[in-house]
Amino acid sequence: MVRWITLAAAALLAAPTVQAQCTTRSSCPPCTMCRVLPARGSNPTVSEMSTLFDRVAAGPRAYGTLGWNFGGRDTFGSGAGWCGGSGARDTVPASFPCVLLKAIYLTESSWRQFCTDQQTVISFDCGYGIAQVTSGMRRGETSAYDPNRVASSAAYNVSVGAAILADKWRASPCVGSNNPDIIEHWYFATWGYNGFAFSNNPNNPMYAADRRGFRTPA
Amino acid sequence: MRERSAVTVAAILAVCAPLAWAFGNTSPGVTPTPAVSRPDAPELALLEGPADGDGSLVVLRRGGRSRALGRVPHAVGGARQGVVVRGGEHPLVAVVAQQRPSTRASTYDSALFFVDEGGARQALDGVTNASRPLVTRGGLVLVQRGSDGDPIELVDRQLRERRDPLRIDAVDPSTGASRTVWEGAGQIAFLACALDGDEALVLHLDDQRATLRVLDAARGVTRVLREGLHLARDFSYDAARGEVLFAQAEGPSAWAVRAISLRDSEISTKWQGESDHLMPFALGDGRVALSLPGDHGLGVIPAGGGAPGRVAPLGEGSDAALARYGDWIALRHTDSAREAPALVHLPTGAGEALAGGDGEVRVVLGFTEAR
């Protein structure tokens, strides 16, 4: 009986601490109220990371077993015909401008899979690792990919992020000739990666019109 | 899940806000930068802190002197904005500062603080990220608030943006008491500028609709001034003429400086320029300050209209005029090396930048003599 009372008291005391950790702090120490607990590991070097992004940008057909295979959805549309235009309507192996992946992941996590204490970077809303993968990573959610590898493997995490970006490409409005080799054509897909909220709209009148490169407003 | 969290936070605030109001003062912890050297310059309030810091200091500068009011805590590198609420011997400023790390388009992650000689105290949470509080001429402080709507999943290649529950709250700065004066839904209810009394102009965007509303914050009622005001920004009020100045997109690279009459909602064009950051500012006497195309510095459109004359005391760069007091205007000067607040003496065209290029963020809050 005493043991149960002690356990209950400990749970009551511990719960607010964990809750606070997942609502008010940054991603390190990691939130521990998500689908899987943080894994342990160390970050690749910047050089290794850059090489990794280049390989993942070539798409799952090119990188093979390095990361997730996009659940078999390893192609997407190319050409204005996908948006009701009269242009081409091709299906091509999924690939990405390599600098785009590097830029997105720099913004998402500063290229960090692990905190300095070697636990996975996990934000308060269950964004995991370099790509800050949130889809399917909250408690009770499911995913086609392995959540434990999203937490433990930098390569796997980055490839899942690329698969999510590929989904945004498939659903977003076309830009120009809808050519995935042209980085400008990823405008709406990139916007969608963080969410189609007005806070991500570059025309938001709250942000200074002369800010450099649509940087985060001060 | 986020909405439940917001409710929890609101419940905690309901209990804790009065206590925080009474005891939540924070002490200064950031060293102010060198002050304005010109002795006859009016006192200017700034919010200063490292770009990647977790707090910013409200600093008042006049001539060669400066004094700090209080430190506002915020998320590391968080967005921060503010405005002078009251000047005089005992100045008061309002600051909106981001409290949680940016992630997944969470928009309502900021809090409203009041800062005076006693320090900073939090008044409201759930305030829109990067929004600027607005002070009515009657003295109410208005803030944009809301909660994140359901995430958007595009399926048809048609761009849609998340639709959030939105509201505008009015806060009595003397008591901290707040009430909601407008509620709606959409992408943003932007506090565009103060009008007369307790009226404010609100740009409300909701999917394809862009509506300019006049909000009477004292009575909690609105009227539509104009529909279809797309891609409009940088609003300021010319009380003498009863019109509001703003910039509006004309094409891919050209924008126009326009005025809308509060009397009949008619829109006129003051000037057009090949720049997406004209940033017009009504000087209150018919003249309009703006940033010249090509980043050639500050320009002023004469009261009678026509092309802007170049003032540009700080040289090349963009100049956003933000506040006026007598012969002085405060602006934000941005060039390749720095982003710095600056003072400009209109009759002589003399200007002075207040540091910059040192990794510090300095937000102009306004002149403390102005209210």
Question: How high is the ipTM of this complex?
Answer: 0.86
- Which chain A residues are closer than 8 Å to B153 by Cβ? 171
What is the structure's pLDDT at B1? 30
- Which residue among B154, B188, B279 places its CB closest to the CB of A204? B188
Q: Mean pLDDT across the stretch A130-149?
A: 96
**Cα–Cα distance between A9 and A3 in angstroms, integer?**
10
Q: Mean pLDDT across the stretch B207-228?
A: 97
| Phi and psi torsions of A31, nearest 5° | -65, 135
Q: Report CB contact under 8 Å: B152, A196.
A: yes
Q: Mean pLDDT across the stretch B165-188?
A: 97
Query: Is A58 in CB contact (< 8 Å) with chain B?
Result: no
Q: Read off the pLDDT band of A10 (50, 70, 90).
A: very low
Tokens of B162: 């998340």
- Which residue among A172, A192, A217 places its CB closest to the CB of B130? A217
H/E element, A55: helix A46-57
Continuous H helices in A134-215: 147-152, 154-171, 187-194
Q: B198, B140 in Cβ contact below 8 A?
A: yes
Q: Mean pLDDT across the stretch A14-37?
A: 68
pLDDT at residue A15 tops 70:
no
- Which chain B residues are closer than 8 Å to A80 by Cβ? none
Q: A217, A208 in Cβ contact below 8 A?
A: yes
H/E element, A108: helix A98-109
What is the structure's pLDDT at B19? 30
Q: Mean pLDDT across the stretch B277-298?
A: 96
Give the gap in angstroms from C-alpha B262 to the nearest C-alpha of chain A.
21
The residue in chain B having the minimum alpha-carbon distance to the alpha carbon of residue A172 is: B157
Give the gap in angstroms from C-alpha A147 to the nearest C-alpha of chain B.
19
Q: Report CB contact under 8 Å: A199, B105.
A: yes
- Which chain B residues are closer than 8 Å to A173 by Cβ? 154, 157-159
Most B CBs within 10 Å: which of A172, A206, A215, A216, as the mutation test of the B interface? A206
- Which residue among A171, A204, A218 places its CB closest to the CB of B154? A171
What is the structure's pLDDT at B252? 76
Q: Mean pLDDT across the stretch B150-176?
A: 92
On the 0-12 / 13-18 / 19+ scale of CB atoms within 10 A, A150 is buried
Residues 6+ apart with CB under 8 A from B208: none
Q: Report CB contact under 8 Å: A206, B100.
A: no
- Which chain A residues are closer than 8 Å to B188 by Cβ? 198, 204-206
Q: Report CB contact under 8 Å: B161, A138.
A: no
What is the structure's pLDDT at B206? 97
**Cα–Cα distance between B147 and B4 in angstroms, integer?**
10
Q: Mean pLDDT across the stretch B207-236?
A: 97
What is the structure's pLDDT at B21? 32
Q: Report CB contact under 8 Å: B157, A83.
A: yes
The residue in chain B having the minimum alpha-carbon distance to the alpha carbon of residue A196 is: B161
pLDDT at residue A2 tops 90:
no
pLDDT at residue B15 tops 70:
no
Q: Report CB contact under 8 Å: B101, A206.
A: no
pTM of the entire predicted model = 0.84
What is the structure's pLDDT at B289? 98
Residues 6+ apart with CB under 8 A from B217: B136, B138, B140, B142, B168, B170, B181, B198, B199, B200
Average model confidence (pLDDT) across chain A: 87
What is the structure's pLDDT at A85? 79
pLDDT at residue A11 tops 50:
no
- Which chain A residues are closer than 8 Å to B158 by Cβ? 173
Size of interface A-B (CB pairs under 8 A): 126
Query: Is A46 in CB contact (< 8 Å) with chain B?
Result: no
Give the gap in angstroms from C-alpha A3 to the nearest C-alpha of chain B.
31
Q: Report CB contact under 8 Å: B105, A174.
A: no
**In this prediction, what percent of chain B has a pLDDT beyond 90?**
73
Q: Give the pLDDT confidence of B20-60 residue by residue, as tens digits.
A: 333 333 333 444 444 456 668 899 999 999 998 999 999 99
Query: Is A204 in CB contact (< 8 Å) with chain B?
Result: yes
Q: Give the pLDDT confidence of A150-209 residue by residue, as tens digits.
A: 999 999 999 999 999 999 999 999 999 999 999 999 999 999 998 899 998 989 999 999
Query: Is A124 in CB contact (< 8 Å) with chain B?
Result: yes
What is the structure's pLDDT at B370? 53
Query: Is A110 in CB contact (< 8 Å) with chain B?
Result: no
Largest separation between any pair of C-alpha atoms in chain A: 76
Q: Report CB contact under 8 Å: A201, B161.
A: yes
pLDDT at residue A14 tops 50:
no
Q: Mean pLDDT across the stretch A49-72?
A: 97
Rounded to the nearest angstrom, the gap between the alpha carbon of residue A77 and the centroid of all alpha carbons in its chain is 21
**In this prediction, what percent of chain B has a pLDDT beyond 70?**
88
Q: Report CB contact under 8 Å: B155, A171.
A: yes
What is the structure's pLDDT at A26? 65
- Which residue among A168, A172, A206 places its CB closest to the CB of B130? A206
Q: Give the pLDDT confidence of B108-124 residue by residue, as tens digits.
A: 999 999 999 999 999 99
Query: Is A6 in CB contact (< 8 Å) with chain B?
Result: no
Give the gap in angstroms from C-alpha A197 to the nearest C-alpha of chain B.
5
Q: Read off the pLDDT band of B103 (50, 70, 90).
A: low
The residue in chain A having the minimum alpha-carbon distance to the alpha carbon of residue B150 is: A197
Query: Is A201 in CB contact (< 8 Å) with chain B?
Result: yes
